[in-house]
Amino acid sequence: MSALLDWLGNWPGAVLLQRSGTAYLFVNAAHILGIGLLLGAILPLDLRLAGVLRASALPLIGPVLIRTAACGFVLALTTGLWLFTVKPGEYLGNTAFLIKLGLLALALGNIALQHRGLKPALAGGGIGLKVRLLAALSAALWLCVLVAGRWIGFL
């Protein structure tokens, strides 16, 4: 394990961020952009599915919000892994980081469950209780990932 962490902490991308505050700044900003796109798209969609927002055009906005959230997730994931390699051993000893990864796994599992029942709702059909509950859970989980991510820097 320590050999793997050593390798991760010495790949050229990690060395670049360890030596250049400017490079770190841009990757961290890209991580925040990914988070912004992800939560900026997934929260309105979840609130609409949960029945909190009443906007009618779900078949119109749904696919756009899902694609935006997916792009945000890919950006947050790639930049997050890159940031992780700056000090992998330290992050694995950081409780907030471990909690964040756990919440991230739960949030992704919830997306897999939600997508199984989402098609009728996106086609303009009714929104069942299960979809509403999973949407409310999704909003709560992603907000927790956000807070856990910010908490990392405080530990």
DSSP string, 62-103: HHHHHHHHHHHHHHHHHHHHHHHTTSHHHHHT-HHHHHHHHH
In the complex with ligand HEM, which residue's Cβ is closer, 60 or 105?
A: 105
Helix (H) or strand (E) holding 22: helix 21-49
Residue ranges that bind ligand HEM, judged by CB under 6 A: 28, 31-32, 35, 38, 73, 76-77, 80-81, 83-84, 91, 104, 145-146, 149-150, 152-153
Taking CB positions, which residue lies at the least distance from ligand HEM? 149
Least distance in angstroms from the C-beta of 24 to ligand HEM: 10
Task: Pull the structure tokens for residue 154.
Answer: 């405080």
Taking residue 102's Cβ as centre, other Cβ atoms within 10 Å add up to 13
In the complex with ligand HEM, which residue's Cβ is closer, 50 or 104?
A: 104
Least distance in angstroms from the C-beta of 153 to ligand HEM: 3
